[in-house]
Amino acid sequence: MRPEDGASVHHRDLTGTTALVTGATSGVGREVALALGRLGARVLVHGRDRDRGEAVADELRAVGADPLFLRADFADLDALAGLADEVREHTDGLDVLVNNAGTHFDEGWVTDAGVEATFHVNHLAPFALTTRLRDHVADDGRVVTVASEVHRRGDLVFEELRTSEDYDGFAAYGRSKLANVLFARELDRRWDGPEAVACHPGFVPASGLWRHSSLPVRAAMTVFSLVPRPLTFGRVDTAASAAVTPTFLAAVDAVDGGAYYRDCEPVTPSEQARDDDLAARLWTYSEDVVAGR
Ligand SMILES: NC(=O)c1ccc[n+]([C@@H]2O[C@H](COP(=O)([O-])OP(=O)(O)OC[C@H]3O[C@@H](n4cnc5c(N)ncnc54)[C@H](OP(=O)(O)O)[C@@H]3O)[C@@H](O)[C@H]2O)c1
């Protein structure tokens, strides 16, 4: 199934628009990038691996799109600044920014910015990229941040972000995904013009997300990925079926700004994810870390 068909946006003509999809070298991001390219958008394909990025760019050229691969490691804030500069250099503006790149680490570590790495890659990086591109996103543009239902198990305690002591990979991942939902909410509140939303894509056991996980987790994901989708009552996704909601949010005419979506519908996120004070505090905290404070 093509994501644009699943999202019922196959009739949309995105010719003349430009979209940046982060983490587009594999999984959900690759599928979103291809869908937006088929709909006519110019797609900037972000990733870390040049060969895989150029392969996605070739797939986009094959459907008549005009892609460009841009490389940056999201664990490196300087590389993110460079990515934002390259986006400016190669485009007149962005209509869609899909913050999709994400990771899961089984072992904890602290990045050069002094924060736990999952939080850095999954939240701080899209925060830094998006805010750097503020005046480059069109007034009627859209920022889609790919979060997860796992945000419901996240707990955001700022004092725990500067260390990887007592690290728990799933807790860190849930916390970073909670930050994604809070970020979209606060971004939508702060920015006039562009709409910001967050979403759960689906559960993709075959994705690369679990490659840094423990052996038992990787084994469980392999087993899940072998079960035919109909037998899971739609609870297990392929990368293409998980790309439906992000593609919908990137391409549909109008969205509910600040909302969290699942299955192309706004749904109520966790209590912490609806806490406006926490969202504002996270924004200030993130600004401070990005500024080196
Ligand atoms: N898979 C699921 O079940 C699931 C469920 C809910 C939400 N999500 C979310 O969906 C999004 C996409 O996940 P996926 O399942 O498609 O995973 P994936 O196949 O591993 O794709 C993740 C993408 O992010 C990139 N990325 C990872 N770490 C990076 C870094 N440090 N710097 C730059 N790029 C980096 C990857 O590039 P490399 O290949 O170079 O690492 C890849 O292009 C993530 O935000 C994830 O949290 C996934």
173 among known catalytic residues: yes
Question: 20-31: per-residue pLDDT in tens?
Answer: 999 999 999 999
Q: Rounded to an integer, what distance in angstroms lies between the CA atom of residue 171 and that of residue 93?
A: 36
| pTM tops 0.85 | yes
- Looking up residue 122, the CATH number of its domain turns out to be 3.40.50.720
51, with CB counted inside 10 A (0-12, 13-18, 19+), is exposed
178-203 average pLDDT score:
97
pLDDT at 231: 76
Q: Count how many domains the chain has.
A: 1
Q: Of residues 167, 173, 260, 261, which has the active-site annotation? A: 173
pLDDT at 9: 98
Ligand 1 atom at minimum distance from 146 CA: 45
pLDDT at 227: 81
Task: Determine the structural domain holding residue 281 and report its residue range.
Answer: 3-290
Question: 208-257: per-residue pLDDT in tens?
Answer: 888 888 888 888 888 888 887 777 777 889 999 999 999 999 999 999 99
Q: Rounded to an integer, what distance in angstroms lies between the CA atom of residue 50 and that of residue 13?
A: 29
Q: Rounded to an integer, what distance in angstroms lies between the CA atom of residue 69 and that of residue 253?
A: 27
**Pocket perturbation via mutation, ligand 1, pick of 30, 121, 207, 213 by most ligand atoms within 8 A of CB:** 207
pLDDT at 212: 80
268-274 average pLDDT score:
98
